[in-house]
Amino acid sequence: MFEYALSVMIFLPILAGLAMLLFPISRGAARIAGMIVSLVILFMGIEMFIDFSGAGGMQYLESRPWIESLGITYGLGVDGISLLVLMTGAILFPMVFTIFTTQQKGYYANLLIAQGAMIGAICATDLVLFYIFWEIMLLPIFFMIGIWGGPKRLPATLKITIYTIAGSLLMLAALIYVGVSYHDQFGTWTFDIVQLGALDLGGGFAVLAFLMFMVAFAIKIPLFPFHTWLPDAYTEAPTATTFVLSGIMAKIGVYGVIRFVVPVFEIEFARFALLLSLAGVAGMMYCGLAAIAQKDMKRMLAFSSASHMGIIALGVFCMNVQALTGSLFQIAAHATSTGVLFLFVGLMEERMGTREIGDLGGVAYRAPVFATFFAIAMLASVGLPGTSGFIGEFLIILGAIKFNGFIGVLAGTSVIIGVCYMLWMFQRVFFEKTNDRAMGFQDLKASEVLTFIPVILLIMAMGVFPQTFIQKIEPAAQLQVAKVFAMTQSQVAETTVPTPGHNNHKN
Amino acid sequence: MHDFLSILPLLIICAGAILLMLLSAFEKLQVEVASYVSMGFFGAAFFVQLLVGCGPETIVFSKTFNGMLMTSNFTMVAGLIILGCGFFTALSAHSYFKVNLFCTLEFYAIMMFGACGMLLLTMAQELITAFIALEIMSLSIYILVGYDRANVTSTEAILKYLMLGAFAGAFFTMGTALIYGGAGSTKFVEIGTYISANSAAKPLLIAGAFFILVAFLFKVAAFPFHAWVVDVYDGAATPVTGFMATALKTAVFAVFANFLALNGQLHSGWITFLFYVAVLTMFGGNLIAIGQSSLKRMLAASGIVHSGYLLIALVAISADHFTGSVIGYYLAAYAAGTLGIFAALSYLGGEGEKRASFDDFKGLAKVRPYSAAAITVFLLSMAGIPPTAGFMGKFYIITSAISAGQTALAVLGVVSSILSMWYYLRLIITMYFHEAEESFETVGSPLASAGTFALVVCVFAIGLYPIII
């Protein structure tokens, strides 16, 4: 029954969004239509999650030739690596449509297009198809920040767009280099990621291509030296866009590394792993420290999100099963915690007209339900045991220590920074003095409570029963790590020069 | 019979041009009717070209013309692009001349003569034929550029173009003479055989080839012969600029590719030269485009950049199995995007092209969302963002460059397209992220807007079904 499920999940939102743009309908109708579409995707996503066997291979495969002269296929599929990323893209959207009721129809349309393109990028098994969706998903973000963003939206839009497009065009060159190398080595054209894994790349151009790929993904994640677009874009973007950016789009950067870079460039990846993981840890610390100093709540969350992306990326670079599983788990956990926190801040901004931490205070006395929800999401974000954030961070730090003790210790200590800025912010905003603004704050309405309850429950369920999720992703992670190790080991074995005096037969 | 069929489109256009010329002598016909007539002829020729198709390479009327003309899949595609450009130019000219009243019947006749020259140029397999076709084309374009005689910028444009174009023509003749002196023939094939039998390192051949390359590079506005293009594009009427930017470039690149592909030795001898020309064209064009405040000038400069990309494809062509598919595809993609934006400017420009700069289009999306969306699609296609035609074109060009071992050129091409994002995005930002200052009312016929939306469909259709010849 799920033969074309992925295609439907990709093109239903895109077509609905385009139709919304083309036909003159009211904003209310647009919102309802968007909500219906996102609910359909949600149910398909849940059904897919339950149905997913977790055997490690690709499921729901779709493949048909598209441009045969270059071996480009329309290939889709889901495996343990993409499953949770796909889930974050599929199940979190209805919230946006229920909570923000005052936007224009173009905004809802752009959100839907972004969702379709992101699901496309997550499911694509063909490198070119992935690239196409990867580029398309930037366009709605560009328009959403530029048209509906905050006062300083123009520089923010330009920054994120030029940054990202520069990265992706470099990736395009690298991607074509990979395809051409495959053609040179095997005589046929293909961009299918499974077959590209057989490539044996080497030499200066391979390193260059690897770096180009990594720059593209590092910009999107964002990894430490490439993060400068993030605070502006996250702060200026309208709430739902920030939510999409931090909750899902950043994850696709990490996912892209796991899916497309690691299988093709095993050797280069292994060689650069230490450097990259240092960048991850540096990003964690730097962005965490920067978050402490922020006065604007949204900007603080932006830095906190960047800091968390550092640890998720670190899990990928450690190249062992624990860290990789932790990263994949943390992708979902981070989307449900930090993503939801952005929505909460958006709500506060809508009701109180400010995001300045200094202007707020005593919200918890007026709105206990809201404060409880906020606290749960926040504690998940800092990784309290019993919430989703703990499992992911624990696994990543475990893997990091296994990979390199120094990195592991650094990662472990910088988690504490997260606790500092989050709790301090919570104290200043929700307790301490009350002011008039906070006195007028309305607690969550019933419809909003209903919207947030499933996510809050999900956060706790992921923390208490992590095995439900981990068992679906672990086989794929094991497979991935095993493949990389097989490749790097064989390469090392091939290049070993027998040294005199060393008994080679003993091994 | 097949020989006749393959030059039938050329004959149709020629007949249409003569018919219009005769009709204009009677001074009875309306200008609008003339545009319908030329649309009809372009459309008919397009379909004939499409139906006839073209199998493998055929020498047309080999006895009569002594192998001067050859058709292949590549010339067919180039012909289709030229005819399509003619059709859409007539469409946007119809709207444009409703508000800018300086058109006479001869305009369409001359445009069709120009298209004749272009079609002939794509098929030329010999230097003298190429020269004649080049001059037929250029003379018509000179007249079209200076059609608005009362306008000072237009007069300046034609003067510049005519003087420099005449020099280029003279270079071409000189090159032909020198090559004939060196190789003893003006046919591409025989020059190729002579060079591979002997050597290209003869002074006569080097000088001859150099002059011919200069002439071609001038016509496609490659560095360092690109300086004219900004002023000329700016001075010409908008539909004419669109026609020049697309059809003319297609024709010249077709003959350029044929010339280089048939002379493998010549190509490998000049490859370093072409490499640097391509790089400098891309970056020079980008630098010019970034500084412009007028849309037409920006588009002219971005045309230079696209010439640079096409030069990458020329550097990467392999003489052994040349199909021209990459160049043909890129030209089609580029033509759809560029024609589309010029069609949109034709009806949005208003009387006397009063809306011409970036600032004049502030807030277009708020008032005319569909037009703004169409322009956005064209700009994204030119910038090479998927899923438009421009992306696939760029994809093919980079693939061909890397396959040919020109990885450095491919990377430089990518860097150049990062730079070009600046001015394409700038227009999108102007249209979408600012408040509207005027109402963008347009009078006149809806044909140009219809053409614009047809081209939007073309951009996506070419992009999603990339048929490689």
Asked if B386 reaches chain A (Cβ–Cβ under 8 Å), the answer is yes
Backbone angles phi, psi at A63, to 5 degrees: -155, 120
Predicted pLDDT at A502: 44
User: Which residue type is seen at A320?
Assistant: N
The angle, 0 to 180 degrees and rounded to 10, between the axes of the packed helices B2-26 and B31-52 is 180
ipTM of the assembly? 0.89
In a domain, B357, yes or no: yes
Name the DSSP class of A357: G
Q: Does A69 sit within 8 Å of B411, measured CB to CB?
A: no
Do A157 and B468 make contact, defined as CB atoms within 8 angstroms? no
Residue A504: which pLDDT band, with cuts at 50, 70 and 90?
Answer: very low
Q: Say yes or no for a CB contact (<8 Å) between A135 and B411.
A: no
Q: What is the pLDDT of residue A496?
A: 46
B-chain residues near A169 (CB < 8 A) = 384, 414, 417-418
B433:A146 CB<8 A: yes
> CB distance B386–A135 less than 8 Å?
yes
pLDDT at A1 over 60: no
> Measuring CA to CA, which residue among B73, B111, B68, B74 is closest to residue B89?
B111
In a domain, B232, yes or no: yes
For residue B150, the one-letter residue type is: A
Q: Which of A146, A176, A177 sits opposite B395 (nearest CB)?
A: A176
Q: What is the pLDDT at residue A430?
A: 84
Neighboring chain B residues of A161 at a CB cutoff of 8 Å = 421, 425
Provide the pLDDT for residue B381: 93
Exposure pattern of A466-481 as b/e (b: 16+ CB <10 Å)? beebbebbbbbbbbbb
The full set of domain ranges for chain A reads 5-493
SS3 state at B403: helix
- The answer to whether residue A495 scores a pLDDT higher than 60 is no
Reported as type and span, the H/E element at residue A131 is: helix A127-136
What pTM, to 2 d.p., does this model score?
A: 0.91
The phi and psi torsions of A498 (rounded to 5 degrees) equal -65, 120
For the purposes of burial, counting CB atoms within 10 Å of the CB of B240, is it exposed (0-12), middle (13-18) or buried (19 or more)? Answer: buried
Whether cis (ω within 30° of 0) applies to the bond prior to A155 is no
In this predicted model, which residue has the larger pLDDT, A506 or A456? A456
CA–CA separation, B182 and B173 (whole Å): 14
A498: pLDDT strictly greater than 60:
no
User: Which of B431, B423, B290 has its CA nearest to residue B348?
Assistant: B431
Tell me if B401 is assigned to some domain.
Answer: yes
A500 φ/ψ angles, rounded to the nearest 5 degrees: -65, 145
Number of structural domains chain B divides into: 1
Hey, is the C-beta of B268 within 8 angstroms of any chain A C-beta? no
Contact assignment for A135 to B385 by CB distance below 8 Å: yes
User: In a mutagenesis test of the B interface, which of A18, A66, A132, A171 is the best target, namely the one with the most B β-carbons within 10 Å?
Assistant: A132
**pLDDT at residue A491, rounded to an integer:** 58
A387-426: b (≥16 Cβ within 10 Å) or e = bbbbbbbbbbbbbbbebbeebbebbbebbebbbebbeebb
How many CB pairs below 8 Å do chains A and B form together?
Answer: 72
Asked if B254 and B82 count as a contact pair (C-beta separation under 8 A), the reply is no
pLDDT tens digits, residue range A269-301? 888 888 888 999 998 899 999 999 888 888 999
Residue B469 within a domain: no
CB spacing of A146 vs B418 below 8 angstroms: no
pLDDT, averaged per 10 consecutive residues of chain B (469 residues), comes to 82 92 82 88 91 73 81 88 93 88 86 94 91 93 89 89 92 93 87 81 86 92 89 90 92 90 76 91 92 91 93 81 82 93 88 84 87 92 89 90 88 91 90 84 80 90 75
Compare CB distances from B398 to A136, A161, A176 and report the shortest one's residue: A176
Cα gap B308→B329, rounded to integer Å:
15
- Domain of residue B49, residue span: 2-464
Q: SS3 of B232, please?
A: helix
**Minimum mean pLDDT among A130-144, A489-503, B26-40, B381-395: which range?**
A489-503
Out of A135, A146, A205, closest to residue B432 by CB: A146
- Please write the tens of the pLDDT for every residue from A324-355: 899 999 988 888 888 889 988 888 888 888 88
SS3 A320: coil
